[in-house]
Amino acid sequence: MAERSGMVEKRGPGLWFTHLGLIIGVLIIFFPIWLAFVASTVTQPEITQPPMPLWPGDRFFENYRDALVSGVNAPVARMLANSLIMALGIAIGKIIISLLSAFAIVYFRFPGRRLFFWLIFLTLMLPVEVRIVPTYEVVAGFGMLNSYSGLIFPLIASATATFLFRQFFLTVPDELAEAARVDGARPMRFFIDILLPMSRTNIAALFVILFIYGWNQYLWPLLITTDPSMNTIVMGIKQMFPSGDDVADWPVIMATSILAMVPPIVVVISMQNLFIRGLVDSEK
Amino acid sequence: MLPILLLLPQIVITAVFFFYPAGQAVWQSLFIPDPFGLKSQFVGLGNFEYLLGDPYYRASFVTTAIFSGLVTLVSMGMALYLALLADRLIKGAGTYRTLLIWPYAVAPAVAGVLWLFMFNTRVGVVSWYLGLLGYDWNHVLNEGEAMGLVVAASSWGRVSYNFLFFLAGLQAIPRSVIEAAAIDGAHFWTRFRTIVFPLLSPTTFFLLVVNVVYAFFETFGVIHTITSGGPQQATTILVYKVYKDGFVGQDLGGSAAQSVILLFVVGLLTIVQFKFIERRVHY
């Protein structure tokens, strides 16, 4: 009897099998990253004469220095900087324009309010992958190829964040806005002194999600950065593979892959709770 | 005046980088540019008729269906299995969550490079050991193996995401219900089938839609890094074909028509998602 009622949470041998199953799962998930890390610490011949070792070698500093300083087409340090600018630009830009427009939609009555809401809402539906050719033409027309603004603006043209802030502002009690009005606070004062501090957690959670979204973009940077010095790291890795039959410089490529993973992983792990919150919110 | 000013940044960016290009896609889909790109000829729905009659395009639809079905199945299956295990723990579920969460942060394109490295026909560790076992792995030539590899690479990072939602869903199921069934003598599998899985169905359905959307649109990086759509057309999913026909093949009208078709697919999926979310609110 005691054993049965305890069967929901496992104890004894069952507990160990549960842990074992989970550990195997974790190992399977980890394996590709472990292998990439090992490859980034060994010499090229150790990889090209298979099987490669499964334990790190002693070339960590040399390989990462090679990647960061010279890379293959462009120094990886440069690509990291490009990715950072793009990810921050997308996250901050999208948060700012969304906060402003959500504020306008929720707290003001003006002609065309519903129309604007629906126009913005429509953009929820269409990922950039679907409209690449015409968007490319627009960006090229503005002379924004190989530029940060070309990397950033087309990706902040969507309404997910606006929608989230709108949902949040709707839950803020009306009394707060009324009290502010009675006190003679102008709308922007209310926005800056009351609404923004209240949205702190939402802003941070959204920042985590958008940073990763921006950092991990692939197709868009691939199209508009033809100049290697403007490549982002995520799209730059593929460009490091030689065309034809030449042998790829695996240690440098794998070091670059690890470098491409570290910033978003650090963001996810260090802000885990915010990240989960952001994820759940943005899918609601 | 103030509200318009507040809306202005978003309206301008959306108009220039969203509505105008989307409108262009619809407009271009009705024309065929002449070979010199000097002027275009209006062909009405000709591009669409051509596409729907094109065996390669139809094959790409089938490929996309198989690919997204497999990615959804593999990533959700593995995530559900791990979440069920983690949910059985009194302590430690949080630790496993931390350990499993972070592949979410790995870009699909980087995941592609990692899996390509493991299965590379010349230097890959996994393919080498497979060779030792007498299996000659070659995803460059073998269509089934190419599909398997892009499915594995696309599902891998996705397990984290699905695990998070499944674990949250499982932990929201009242313990008392499950314990009552356990006291009545229902074993794990019976409890899962009759109580846990039905109560989890909102989460499952939600993940189903989200994962299909992911497989449709966000796996471009995986395909591009591992197979470039090949061998032949075996892994050319719809989004990859828009890119290939539009940028590599310079077929603007055809690519625009494909964009418009995809637009309908996204619209449909979004409607399904919202219908479901509206329902979920009443739960």
Query: Could you tell me what percent of chain A has a pLDDT over 70?
Result: 91
Closest Cα in chain B to A238: B225
Top-ranked range on mean pLDDT: pick from B34-43, B115-124, B256-265: B115-124
Integer angstrom CA distances of residue A100 from A90, A199, A211, B7: 16, 12, 19, 6
What's the first-to-final CA gap in chain A, in angstroms?
Answer: 42
Which pLDDT band holds residue B281 (cuts at 50, 70, 90)? very low
Top-ranked range on mean pLDDT: pick from A81-85, A221-225, A241-245, A265-269: A81-85
- Classified as helix, coil or strand, A164 is helix
Closest Cα in chain B to A136: B21
Closest Cα in chain A to B256: A133
- Classified as helix, coil or strand, B31 is strand
Interface contacts A/B by beta carbons within 8 Å: 272
Say how far apart CA B65 and CA B237 lie, in whole Å.
Answer: 9
pLDDT for the residue numbered A256: 94
Across the interface, whether the CB atoms of B99 and A104 are under 8 A apart is answered: no
Q: Which residues touch A171 (CB under 8 Å, ≥6 apart)?
A: none
Q: Which sequence spans correspond to the domains of chain A?
A: 2-61, 69-283
Give the residue with greater pLDDT, A203 vs A121: A203
Across the interface, whether the CB atoms of B88 and A158 are under 8 A apart is answered: no
Using alpha carbons only, how large is chain A's radius of gyration in Å? Answer: 24
What's the average model confidence in pLDDT over B246-269? Answer: 82
- Which string of b and e fits B171-206 if b means at least 16 CB within 10 Å? eeeeeeebbebbeeebebeebbeebbeebbebbbeb
What's the average model confidence in pLDDT over A157-165? Answer: 82
Query: Per-residue pLDDT tens for B6-37?
Result: 888 988 998 888 888 888 888 888 887 766 66
CATH-assigned architecture of domain B47-281: Orthogonal Bundle (1.10)
- The residues in B 137-196 lying below 8 A from A, measured between CB atoms, are 156, 159-161, 164-165, 168, 175, 178-179, 182-183, 185, 187-188
Least confident of A73-82, A145-154, B124-133, B187-196: B187-196
Query: Per-residue pLDDT tens for B116-149?
Result: 999 998 888 899 999 889 888 898 889 999 999 9
Closest Cα in chain B to A51: B125
pLDDT for the residue numbered A126: 66
What's the average model confidence in pLDDT over A229-251? Answer: 87
Do B164 and A276 meet the contact criterion of CB atoms below 8 Å apart? yes
Chain B interface disruption, residue of A108, A219, A256, most B CBs within 10 A = A219
Say how far apart CA B122 and CA A46 lie, in whole Å.
Answer: 13
Query: Per-residue pLDDT tens for B196-238?
Result: 888 888 888 888 888 988 898 889 999 999 998 878 889 999 9
Tell me which fold the domain A69-283 belongs to: MetI-like fold (1.10.3720)
Which pLDDT band holds residue A234 (cuts at 50, 70, 90)? very high
Which pLDDT band holds residue A5 (cuts at 50, 70, 90)? very low
Instruction: Please identify which residue in the block is written with the tokens 């009622």.
Output: A5
Which pLDDT band holds residue B92 (cuts at 50, 70, 90)? confident
Across the interface, whether the CB atoms of A48 and B123 are under 8 A apart is answered: yes
**Nearest Cα to Cα of residue A264 among A203, A221, A208, A191:** A208
**Nearest Cα to Cα of residue A205 among A277, A263, A268:** A277
Does the ipTM surpass 0.90?
Answer: no
Do B227 and B178 meet the contact criterion of CB atoms below 8 Å apart? no
Rounded to the nearest integer, the mean pLDDT of chain A is: 85
